[in-house]
Structure 1
Amino acid sequence: MQPDATNDNSWRGIMRINCDLSHSGYNDPIVYPGQKDAAHLHRFYGNTLLDENSDIASLFTSGESSCQGNTLNRSAYWVPALLAPLYDPQTSQRLTDESGDPAWQIVPAVVGGDDEAHEIFYYSAGVDDLSSIQPIPLGLKMIAGSHMGMPGMEQDTSIVRWHCQSWESSDATNPRWSASIPECTAPDRLRMDIFFPSCWNGTDLDSADHKSHLAYPVNTGGPNGTVCPASHPVPIIRVSFHYAYGVKPEVYDPQSRSSRGWRFASDMYEVSTTTPGGMSLHGDWFNAWHPEALQAVLDGCIRQRLDCHDGNLANGYRLTGTRPGSQNDVPIVNKGMGY
């Protein structure tokens, strides 16, 4: 099946893949390499063996992947866990944990599952000159968004954002976005988008702040359109995460039947009805794609301005389906902020 061309005022060229949840934990091999349980609670996708000791050699040569393509895509993708207050299903009373503190539960994302595909990882074009885009170098680490986002320090919704699916938000026609988690009412879904930088300095696979080696494209307003800045001249494939969370009875606020009170595990401020959670929205990505497979994504889908779904490489081949990870449950410690 040949993918359709992208629509005007939409993605320039794109490949969307499904991933299933791999595992959960308090590790972060980018920010806290070698330090076990040093981070807030994360949900990991992709490489099934990712832990605090993972590096490019271990990612590229070991483990399977919960994403389409399996060992062709051993990359690691992770985000903080989304948490909801835990209520008694019979009385709707707020429950407490073993320490007597308010209890929390994980809100699962609608991901993986080839029978109900929900594309959550996109590879697309960030600049207008598609011929200039290069594959992402093997081993590149990057972070989009900031764990420091909080009231008074809201993040730019062109980089990270929340919205209710019923809003039918669109960059082209209806740019209705929120820097914090809105109250989406059942049976709606809460959506989040994270756009990673797609301009590289051409030298470094990482930097001290895990961001300075990359930059976002700029719109020149002239004939060249959107380009990379001179400080980061190499356009690479743009990575973005797109998740949906079902507002269901087992996780919604029983009074409003909404996402009221939900928080991100990285939120370092008190979440309340007047101060919604999610302002610390961010994500991490560590590239371990097989170079030939990622080149096929670039050549077949992005440069050809095609809308490739479900692992279709637009060259007669399709990536294999998702596989489940361990999907382990770990304790929610300190509102998900960790040990």
Structure 2
Amino acid sequence: MRSTSLTVKALACLAAGVASVSAQRDYYFNFGSSAVVQERLDPLVNPGALAGHVHSVVGGNAFAATMDFGTTQSSSCTSVDLIADKSNYWMPSLYFHKNGKFTLVPERSPKHKIYYKYGDRGQPGADRSEFPKGFRMMAGNANLRSDDGSLGSAGSQLQWYCHGPEVQSAGIPKGFTSCPHGLAAAMRFPSCWNGQDFNKDQPLAHMAYPTTGLGLIDGCPAGFQKARFPEIFIEFWLEVSQFDGQYGPNDSPFVLANGDPTGYGFHMDFLNGWQEGVLARAMRTCRPGNTGDPLDSPQCFGAGSVQNGDAKERCKKATSVNEDIGLNGPLSQLPGCNPIQAGPGLATKPANCPGGAAVRSSSSGPSPATTAGLAPTTTSVPVPTTSAAAGPRPTDTVPPSGGSSEMSPPSVNSTSGEWKGAGCFLDALNPRSLGSRPQWWGQKISSSNCVEHCDSIRAKYAGTENGGQCFCGNELLKSASRPGKCTSKCEGDGSEICGGPGHLSIYSRDGLVSVTKRRTHRRHIRHFSASV
């Protein structure tokens, strides 16, 4: 199977960071998200109508069949960590196919991991622009059923990964009968723009991938140097443990909502809903991937900019489509007209597709796609400014939110005895402060079961983060005590606290912890292409 710039280690270390290649310094931040809805809508490719297949949708809860920038800003909440981001990101849902039945595969924490990469050479964001209002783009091709050459280091870098057996490939891999730590798909968006708006008849025409990994505008191909945006990279996580033992290592039981059993037709869509000016300011000064700046620091998005896990999990919208997508049990066919097509040629849409579903109307629905904030298909969108003097200070980004005075998490018990809370600590990136990756083992996280797991593998420290992550390790790297920043309730036990966004609730047997400082301890993870 073709290799890509996404190495085995890169996806195993799902949040370890972005490559630091040669003398180049990359700047990036990442945040988690839950689905705000799963439904058969796509305002980019099928505006105002039903989409061809079911999507998992992330971000603002104003998602609708027809959208513009104003629609995104009407969202009353967002399902991502950063409150100022009311964008929508969506991708095809996954089904398990056996005996003629299609079972919707649930998503697992961290569900959607979203990375924004920008800047290099000691100048974070110096040559990157924020997205214009109404900006839209896609990555991938829903009709692909084999590698057409667009998936490698110069393209979308599509990669599927079965966490546990450590199996990966550009398409959905084989060679396993269980993924104890989850099945994930990862893909990056193009970042070079020609100044034109999205055209649903040529959805990839206005964007291109950079010709080098450098964050400078001249790293874009000719004709696509109107602006260079931050590079978005998303990992989509699925919980497949309920299907253990139901398939063999040579079987292909998983199929995307578009009828694709190969995984090559995985794709993603983005509609910008960032509060104007916020992203541009953060890219100039925020360096979380290099120095460990917290996202709510003045250098990044400012105080109150990051919401807790409960708030984003509560952000949902009612489906706008009158259709059963499998939330209540297996289906006899995929929603829409999507027979299984394995290729290797491009998939085609069958003629005379049956109907049956409809988009619910709403008196308060979104405005037409040609209203202010979204240019008609053939026009240019103004190039955004990156002037350092523009806009308010980062601390003015969003209103402050309440915090907690939590100093040290309470003690918890394991089979070998009591572990004591050692405090709330910053989780730095590249590398992580307490381990290369979350230690998933197939259940929702609580501080108690995280400690139990870390104790079972004889780790010195246990740490929970952002309500749903568990890390184990024998040393704490590049960290600092951050009282009051661990406020996220555990997904597995709402009575317990499991760290916070970018912060760890640390436990040890004696309640003590020491921070190890290593200047040379750095990982060079290639989540993004360095150069081609």
TM-score bracket, shorter-length normalisation: 0.7 to 0.9
Q: Pick from 135, 155, 159: which aligns with 1:161?
A: 159
CA contact (8 A) 2:39 2:325 kept: no
What stretches of structure 1 of length at least 5 have no aligned partner?
Answer: 87-93, 95-101, 112-116, 170-175, 272-276
Shift of 1:7: 6.4
Q: Distance in 2 between matches of 1:305 and 1:226?
A: 24
- 3-state SS of 1:131 partner: coil
Higher mean C-alpha displacement, 300-309 vs 76-85: 300-309
Q: 1:68 — aligned with what?
A: 81
1:299 aligns with 2:284: yes
Q: Distance in 2 between matches of 1:180 and 1:5?
A: 23
Q: Distance in 2 between matches of 1:109 and 1:161?
A: 17
Structure 1 residues 205 and 302: alpha-carbon distance in aligned structure 2, compared to 1, 3 A threshold: farther
Deviations 1:248-299 (A, max 9, x none): 0x2345243898410111235xx4xxxxx31211010100100232124312
Higher mean C-alpha displacement, 148-157 vs 278-287: 148-157
Higher mean C-alpha displacement, 296-305 vs 26-35: 296-305
Structure 1 residues 308 and 220: alpha-carbon distance in aligned structure 2, compared to 1, 3 A threshold: closer
Q: Pick from 199, 207, 230: which aligns with 1:214?
A: 207
Q: Which has the larger radius of gyration?
A: 2
Q: 1:274 — aligned with what?
A: none
CA contact (8 A) 1:18 1:121 kept: yes
Deviations 1:205-263 (A, max 9, x none): 32342221111000399xx8981112111211111211222330x23452438984101
CA contact (8 A) 2:43 2:67 kept: yes
Q: Distance in 1 between matches of 2:189 and 2:281?
A: 20
What stretches of structure 2 of length at least 5 have no aligned partner?
Answer: 1-15, 338-354, 356-532
CA contact (8 A) 1:127 1:235 kept: no
Q: Which amino acid aligns with 2:233?
A: S
Q: 1:77 — aligned with what?
A: 89
CA contact (8 A) 1:13 1:307 kept: no
Q: Distance in 2 between matches of 1:211 and 1:307?
A: 34
CA contact (8 A) 1:19 1:68 kept: yes
Q: 1:99 — aligned with what?
A: none
Q: 1:18 — aligned with what?
A: 32
In percent, how many aligned pairs have the same letter?
19
CA contact (8 A) 1:161 1:177 kept: yes
Structure-to-structure mapping, 1:89-108, within 5 angstroms: 94=99, 102-108=100-106
Q: 1:145 — aligned with what?
A: 140
Structure 1 residues 335 and 308: alpha-carbon distance in aligned structure 2, compared to 1, 3 A threshold: farther
Q: Pick from 96, 112, 122: which aligns with 2:115?
A: 122
CA contact (8 A) 2:53 2:92 kept: yes
Q: Pick from 277, 287, 306: which aligns with 1:319?
A: 306
Q: Distance in 2 between matches of 1:83 and 1:312?
A: 40
Shift of 1:313: 6.8
CA contact (8 A) 1:29 1:53 kept: yes
TM-score for both structures, normalised by structure 1: 0.75
Shift of 1:138: 2.0
- 3-state SS of 2:161 partner: strand
Q: Distance in 1 between matches of 2:213 and 2:284?
A: 26
Q: Distance in 2 between matches of 1:280 and 1:82?
A: 12
Q: Distance in 1 between matches of 2:166 and 2:18?
A: 19
Matched length = 298
Q: Distance in 2 between matches of 1:119 and 1:308?
A: 22
Q: Pick from 67, 73, 83: which aligns with 1:54?
A: 67
Question: What value does the CA root-mean-square deviation take over the aligned residues?
Answer: 3.5
Q: Distance in 2 between matches of 1:151 and 1:211?
A: 18
Q: Distance in 1 between matches of 2:139 and 2:219?
A: 19
TM-score for both structures, normalised by structure 2: 0.50
Q: Pick from 41, 44, 57: which aligns with 1:27?
A: 41
Shift of 1:76: 0.6
